Amino acid sequence: MIGRWVLLVLAFAMQALTVTVAVSQSVLTREDFTLIQDFEDTTSRSFAEHFANMVHQFEFCLGTQEVCKVLLQKRMGNFYLFDERPKSTFQSSKAATEAITLVLKQFQEASGLQRRLGQPQGTSDYIYLVFVEPELAEYYFDIFAKAHIIHKDFGLSSSEKKQRVELFKYFIDQQLPCIFISSIYPDNTIRDTYIWVRTELDEVLMRQCVAEEFYNSFGLDEGVEVEHLFAYEFSHKAGDTSLSEFDLLLLKILYSDELPLGSEHENTMAIVEKMVLEARSAYQ
């Protein structure tokens, strides 16, 4: 059921200071600049505006069901990955594993951050990935939710548990292929994120789900411009199942030192515009 990809955000706090920083040297390579030029020539749009939209404009915020704008968020350190699967192998299990390995490798190359190994307790820096058997989850909803969605180790409050269960019911009832949930903290650092993926997806959709939801969990969202990341024609063609060079360029820029946590849309645009101008001066 591609064409219905939803990002739900649990808004704990939305206040943060906007910090403007001076860009001393562009992080963009000649290849990056060529890709940016190609984007602007092909789409007749500002790259800086497109980038800012993907950082600040989320498709759907909890409680509003409208376009949601957030301050710039990203991870600030390495993170754990909890990969929870059914005991029995599902049809696209191997494809899921390969897709996870690839997207984590791509993220590390773009950001310098990586998965931490081990099974820690008490950490808040993690991606909690659950592969959901829909029939089992629907039939034993309360039991499944308690074991996998509001697990005691998450440290959720009563109201947060209620919200999480409601989101999971929405995920099941709407038959969404996959979903990403994140918490917004006052300092705009991405910490705990949750991804749910249905187990019965075919290999193509499974790989796309993993790639897109991990991408969202790193701080970039396709917003309302397209239905899902792989529908964006400039950076993807039909049948693509992994992040493109353009997707990775956006990640690279987001995780550069030039872009501060808590930046607002206009500030983000101004910083990226300056980066592009510096690259144009250097490479043209």
What local confidence, expressed as pLDDT, does residue 1 receive?
A: 36
pLDDT for the residue numbered 67: 59
CB 132 within 8 A of CB 87: no
Per-residue confidence (pLDDT) for residue 259, from 0 to 100: 97
Q: Tell me the pLDDT tens digit for each residue of 228-278.
A: 899 888 999 989 999 999 999 999 999 999 999 999 999 999 999 999 999
CB-CB contact of 274 with 23 (8 Å): yes
**Residues 90 and 199 sit within 8 Å (Cβ to Cβ):** yes
Alpha-carbon distance of 56 to 54, in angstroms, equals 6
Q: List helix spans (H) across 113-244.
A: 134-139, 141-144, 158-173, 203-217
pLDDT in tens, 85-116: 998 889 999 999 999 999 999 999 999 999 99
Higher pLDDT: 198 or 155? It is: 198
One DSSP character per residue, 203-216 reads HHHHHHHHHHHHHH
Rounded to an integer, what distance in angstroms lies between the CA atom of residue 199 and that of residue 195? 13
User: Once rounded to an integer, what is the mean pLDDT over residues 195-217?
Assistant: 97
Q: Is the pLDDT of residue 182 over 90?
A: no
Q: What is the pLDDT of residues 5-55, one digit of tens each?
A: 334 433 333 333 333 333 335 689 999 999 999 999 999 999 999 999 999
Distance between CA atoms of 282 and 284, rounded to whole angstroms? Answer: 6
pLDDT at position 184 over 90: no
Given a cut of 50, whether residue 63 has pLDDT beyond it is no
Average pLDDT over every residue of 117-146:
89
pLDDT given for residue 25 in this prediction? 53
CA distance 99 to 28: 27
The more confidently predicted of residues 154 and 69 is 69
Residue 228: its pLDDT value, please? 85
In the chain, domain spans = 75-222
Residue 60 has pLDDT above 80, yes or no: no
Do 113 and 78 form a contact (C-beta atoms < 8 A)?
A: yes
User: Which pLDDT band holds residue 61 (cuts at 50, 70, 90)?
Assistant: low
Residue 21 confidence (pLDDT): 37
Dihedral sign from CA coordinates of 32, 35, 40, 45: negative
Average pLDDT over all residues of the chain: 86
pLDDT class of 224 with cuts at 50, 70, 90: low
In this predicted structure, the answer to whether residue 119 has a pLDDT above a threshold of 90 is: no
Whole-number percent of the chain with pLDDT over 90: 68
